[in-house]
Amino acid sequence: MKRILRTLLILGCLLLFAVPAVMAKVAIFCYHEVDRPNDAFAVSSGRLEAHLKYLKKEGYHFVTLNEYLAYTDGKLKLPDKSVMITFDDGYRSFYTKVYPLLKKYDVPAMLAIVTSWTDGEGLPTDVRAVATWDELKEMEKSGLVTVVSHSHALHKQQVLDPQGDRNGIAGARLYLNGRYETDEEYIRRLDNDMAQTQAEFRQYLGHPSKVMVWPYGIYSGPAIDAAARHGMTATFLLDGGVNPADKAHQVYARRMIMSSDTNVRILKKLLTKDHDTWNSKPLRMAQIDIDNLYDANPLIFRRNITNTLSQLQASKVNVVALQAFADPDGDGNVDAVYFYNHELPVVADIFNTVATAIQQQNITVIAWMPGLAYTPFLAADDSNMVQGLQGKTGWYRRLSPFDEQGLQKVQTLYGDLGRYTTAQGVLLQDDLYLNDFEDASPVGQQAYQKAFGQTFTAQKGQQGEKWVDLKTERLNEAADKALKAFRQTRPNAITMRDVYSAPVLNPKSREWFAQDYRDCLKRYDYTVVMAYPQMDHQADVQLYLQDVAQAVKKAGGTDKTIVKIQSYDWEKEKWLDKDTFQDELKTLKKSGIRNVGVYPQTFHTWGK
């Protein structure tokens, strides 16, 4: 549990909404055990009292659950300096240590309990004791404590894939008896758990829970829906950040985890920083090929993972774009994947194995996936494959974005990616482009005919800019639908999309790629600019990177752009030397680039 919580302290921050620039924002603190030695998430009672005294002295308003619900419903205005105190798991130390402090300082708090634990069932060995129903009832009668659900029996880890990797079970399908839970079985498990916890709330406390506090902060779209069906329209996460007054922050309430070393100085910093924890520091993204890690020999496979973790830690990487598809020949055309699904062959169901190992190092994992380059979805006659006039076709064998039937298969694949992996977002591969001679495929020509009432015979089509607009729009729609399918399970997924450097440096090149950098800045959480000097044959690497940086800043994309450089020269088939690699990173930093990425992940350290 501790390892999961450490991971969520940073990882969960990806799943957040943008914070508006005005209005009050409620900071919600999440505490756990009190006065437990050697527990990274147990504060001392003395430190807790220091927190309360400081907040009182500084004039903070302590928000009750009912106030928070009214606030996020838009029915109540709160003071600018507002905080909410919450405790998870229902430990008995809350009754013996925290409750007296709440009474002493007249501070309200929310306590999330695991009802099976309260019943004395399934109590983990590392849990000393939990508050009894009588003690919970007593505290609620005081008016200071609001008791809510932390599930009935979802606060545990079980096997989630064939390799035996374990994680929290509220947000994922279990892997039992050689297969995954079906959607129906998963939803039934959620419904049964929430029905049970509500029944016990009514029986012992005389009311249902208004809230679901997700164990480990792990949840899913179906889990959110199940909570709502059982009367819990508000849910609380472990994401960091603050909460403006909107419905989204009722359904997904952010909380900051308080650890054993959170003193008043750190608390003050958290309160005075109007932050989204994820965006509060620069991103360092590594793009990793599972192809290079996987080996049928499990010992070699695990050793490769261990070596990769060492490289990531040395480079202070905080985001990994992890290959979810198999591409051993490196041509970018996908025939199989590394996760369970209903559309493509599975080389090995190992995405979660690699992702979980990386996530346990406090590194966020994004699934790197193509948008169109799926060869099994192409028709035997290639009628739905992107084609160019005069043989001028791109380097991927891509499904045409005008082929709705093929795109439906892509959407199903992305839906399964959300269901059966722990990926917290998606990086869309650079195959989402159409050059100026594309798409002359039969389905592309049909779309052209339908849109413009003309036959597609000219080199670039008679409609010029309108045709570029339509191609760009269809590529965006293909991406949107795939991401929507992923978000059915991962509603707050982070979205990223690869774009070439040309559309950033020269907006006119939109015609050559049907990619619009400024539009991507609006559509995705991050736009990943592929600034590959060696691949692009740039004689003056420094000037090239400076130009990219200047274009990013001019477009207002500094915060929402990751500039990605290459660490391997594919033409010369060798790694960039350490000095060249680090000079490129330094150039980007000096030029004002905030977020950087590297592909492929290199054995070089990134420096400071």
Structural domain that includes position 60: 2-8+26-276
Domain boundary (226, 248, 276) is at: 276
**What average pLDDT does the chain have?**
91
List the structure tokens of 416: 């399964």
- Domain of 335: which CATH number? 3.20.20.80
The rounded distance, in Å, linking the Cα atoms of 409 and 412 is 5
Within a domain: 454:
no
Q: Are residues 351 and 259 in the same domain?
A: no
List the structure tokens of 582: 């680090």
List the structure tokens of 247: 């419905």
Is residue 414 within a helix (H) or strand (E), and if so which, with residue range? helix 404-420
The rounded distance, in Å, linking the Cα atoms of 164 and 269 is 40
Mean pLDDT of 421-439: 94
Q: Are residues 398 and 270 in the same domain?
A: no
- Domain of 37: which CATH number? 3.20.20.370
Is residue 425 within a helix (H) or strand (E), and if so which, with residue range? strand 425-428
Provide Rg for the chain, Cα atoms. Answer: 26
Number of domains in the chain: 2
Within a domain: 330:
yes
Within a domain: 45:
yes
What pLDDT shows up at residue 239? 82
The pLDDT-based confidence of 126 (bands split at 50, 70, 90) is confident
- Using a 10 angstrom Cβ sphere, with 0-12 exposed, 13-18 middle and 19 or more buried, the burial of residue 507 is middle
DSSP states along 375-393: GGGS-TT-TTB--BGGG--
Q: What angle do CA 471, 477, 478 make, to 5 degrees?
A: 90
The pLDDT-based confidence of 508 (bands split at 50, 70, 90) is confident
Instruction: Specify the amino acid at residue 36.
Output: R
List the structure tokens of 266: 């750190």
Say which range, 362-371, 441-450, 458-467, 544-553, has the weakest mean pLDDT. Answer: 458-467
What pLDDT shows up at residue 8? 42
Q: Are residues 49 and 84 in the same domain?
A: yes
DSSP states along 137-197: HHHHHTTSEEEEES-SS--SEEE-STT--EEESTTS--EETTEEPPHHHHHHHHHHHHHHH
- Tell me the pLDDT tens digit for each residue of 549-596: 999 999 999 999 999 999 999 999 999 999 999 999 999 999 999 999
Say which range, 77-81, 502-506, 551-555, 600-604, has the weakest mean pLDDT. Answer: 600-604
Q: Using an 8 Å Cβ cutoff, are 227 and 188 in contact?
A: no
Within a domain: 450:
no
Say which range, 268-282, 363-377, 411-425, has the weakest mean pLDDT. Answer: 268-282
What pLDDT shows up at residue 273? 63
Q: Are residues 119 and 156 in the same domain?
A: yes
The pLDDT-based confidence of 507 (bands split at 50, 70, 90) is confident
The rounded distance, in Å, linking the Cα atoms of 551 and 529 is 11
Residue labelled with tokens 């996908």: 334
Q: Are residues 307 and 272 in the same domain?
A: no
The rounded distance, in Å, linking the Cα atoms of 89 and 86 is 10
Q: Are residues 264 and 296 in the same domain?
A: no
- Tell me the pLDDT tens digit for each residue of 242-259: 999 999 999 999 999 999
Q: What is the pTM of this model?
A: 0.92
What is the 8-class DSSP label of residue 502? H
The pLDDT-based confidence of 459 (bands split at 50, 70, 90) is low
Task: Report helix, strand or coil for 52.
Answer: helix
Within a domain: 372:
yes
Domain boundary (230, 252, 276) is at: 276
The rounded distance, in Å, linking the Cα atoms of 186 and 441 is 41
What is the 8-class DSSP label of residue 83? E
Domain boundary (240, 255, 276) is at: 276
Mean pLDDT of 153-166: 94
What pLDDT shows up at residue 303? 95
List the structure tokens of 217: 């902060």
Mean pLDDT of 31-52: 94
Q: What angle do CA 307, 309, 310 make, to 5 degrees?
A: 65
Q: Are residues 530 and 565 in the same domain?
A: yes
Q: Are residues 244 and 356 in the same domain?
A: no
- Tell me the pLDDT tens digit for each residue of 381-412: 989 999 988 766 777 899 999 999 999 999 99
Q: Are residues 309 and 267 in the same domain?
A: no
Within a domain: 198:
yes
Q: Which residues fall within 8 angstroms of residue 36, CB to CB, at 6 or more apart?
A: 42, 93, 128
Within a domain: 38:
yes
Q: Are residues 85 and 131 in the same domain?
A: yes
Within a domain: 608:
no
Task: Return the beta strands (E) in 531-594 as ranges.
Answer: 561-566, 568-569, 574-575
Q: Of 63 and 3, which is predicted with more confidence?
A: 63
- Using a 10 angstrom Cβ sphere, with 0-12 exposed, 13-18 middle and 19 or more buried, the burial of residue 141 is exposed
The rounded distance, in Å, linking the Cα atoms of 500 and 496 is 13
Q: Are residues 306 and 405 in the same domain?
A: yes
- Tell me the pLDDT tens digit for each residue of 182-202: 999 999 999 999 999 999 999
Mean pLDDT of 83-93: 97
3-state DSSP of 327-341: CCCCCCCECEECCCC
pLDDT at residue 10 tops 50: no
Q: Are residues 379 and 503 in the same domain?
A: yes
Q: Using an 8 Å Cβ cutoff, are 211 and 148 in contact?
A: yes
- Tell me the pLDDT tens digit for each residue of 321-348: 999 999 998 888 899 999 999 999 999 9
Q: Using an 8 Å Cβ cutoff, are 222 and 190 in contact?
A: yes
